[in-house]
Copies of this chain bind each other. A is one copy, B any other.
Amino acid sequence: MHILITGGAGFLGQRLAKHLLQDPNLKRLTLADIVLPPNPTDDTRVQSHQTDLTNAAATNALVSSDITAIFHLAAVVSGQAEANFDLGMAVNCDGTRHLIEAVRHQAPGAKFVFASSLAVYGGELPAVITSETVLRPQSSYGTQKAISELWVNDYTRKGFIDGRVLRLPTVCVRPGKPNAAASSFASSIIREPLQGQPAICPVDLNLALWLSSPTSVVTNLAHSLSVPAEKFSDTRSLNLPGITITVQSMIAALSEVAGPDITSHITYERDDAISKIVASWPSQFEVNQATALGFVGDRNFQDIVRAFITEQNLNRA
């Protein structure tokens, strides 16, 4: 078993790598990213490559014939794809196409797990998103994810790859630094206060989000490999489980877990660009299809905050 992870230097890529390396049947794990991915556990099975997916030849070189599964996590994030349209098109459309073409020709039929996003939805939406809800993305990031989904589905239908498309909720709490994702604040307003740092909340407090912990997302990404192809019907695209919560309730949960003083680190400065993108995303989903296939969700946001504190050794609560 040889697995390739793109976006392997990223937070999710590194966590997924650690998770997959626990399996003794994994013979080789290739991590690729625009920067050279670290070996997360100094495991001899790991090989790292600095690869730009917008370069078709470099992407081809990445996909050896013994690869049995690919996790395509690499992407230009939402805020950046909106600010730099051409970069988003190059990485999120062309990069995905180069990769599925390489798999089609060099590792045909391999499992291809694509990390999509709730940003494929937008515009006037029903109260609850289901598998029947039309995709009307209102951001370039969401558009590029929706396009990649269509390719993964058609390449799968043609038998070129064995695709699985997981639409990830906003992942929270991410460790590390803020990034250019429009949803970056969702982690910042929890992570920074817990480390005694200031955080800015750029959206209305009553804005509702659809969230998943990193642990649930990594578990679900890995789980997707074990879902038999015949369990899917007309589409390989699935909405993953998550929890619906307002920004206000997130802050209340933080306060409940870490004490009321902690909220003094948060200031409120509305950012129209961020608000517009994030408010176009849905926050309530019916995910019966995903749960029937064994995908998991989180219990509540307090548990997510507690898990983050434990993982980061923050000595809180």
Q: How far is A76 from B139 in the complex, measured between Cα atoms in Å?
A: 28
Check: A307 CB closer than 8 A to any chain B CB.
no
Contact A136 B234 (CB under 8 A): yes
Between A and B, 25 residue pairs with Cβ closer than 8 Å are A85-B158, A122-B234, A123-B233, A123-B234, A123-B235, A124-B234, A131-B134, A132-B133, A132-B134, A134-B134, A136-B153, A136-B234, A136-B235, A137-B153, A137-B154, A138-B234, A140-B154, A143-B150, A143-B151, A143-B153, A143-B154, A146-B150, A147-B147, A147-B150, A147-B151
Q: What number of copies of this chain does the assembly contain?
A: 2
| A: number of interface residues (CB 8 Å) | 25
Residues of B within 8 A of A233 (CB): 123-124
| Distance to closest chain B CB from A234 (angstroms) | 3
Residue A27 at the chain B interface, CB threshold 8 Å: no
Q: Quote the shortest CB–CB distance from A116 to chain B (angstroms).
A: 13
- Is A135 part of the contact surface with B, judged by Cβ < 8 Å? yes
A112 to chain B, nearest CB (A): 16
Which residues in B have their C-beta under 8 angstroms from that of A140?
Answer: 154, 158
Question: Considering the chains assembled together, what is the distance between the CA atoms of A53 and B137 in angstroms?
Answer: 27
Is A157 engaged at the interface, CB distance under 8 Å to the other chain? yes
- A137 CA to B236 CA, complexed, in Å: 12
- A62 to B270 CA separation, bound complex (whole angstroms): 45
Residue of B nearest to A94 (CB): B97
Cβ proximity bits A106-145 to B, threshold 8 Å, 1 near / 0 not: 0000000000000000111000000111111110100100
Residue of B whose beta carbon sits closest to that of A237:
B136
A137 to B149 CA separation, bound complex (whole angstroms)? 11
Residues of chain B within 8 A (CB-CB) of A151 are: 143, 147
In the complex, chain B residues whose CB is within 8 Å of the CB of A147: 147, 150-151
Say whether B158 contacts A137, CB under 8 Å.
Answer: no
- Chain B residue contacts of A133, Cβ below 8 A: 132, 134
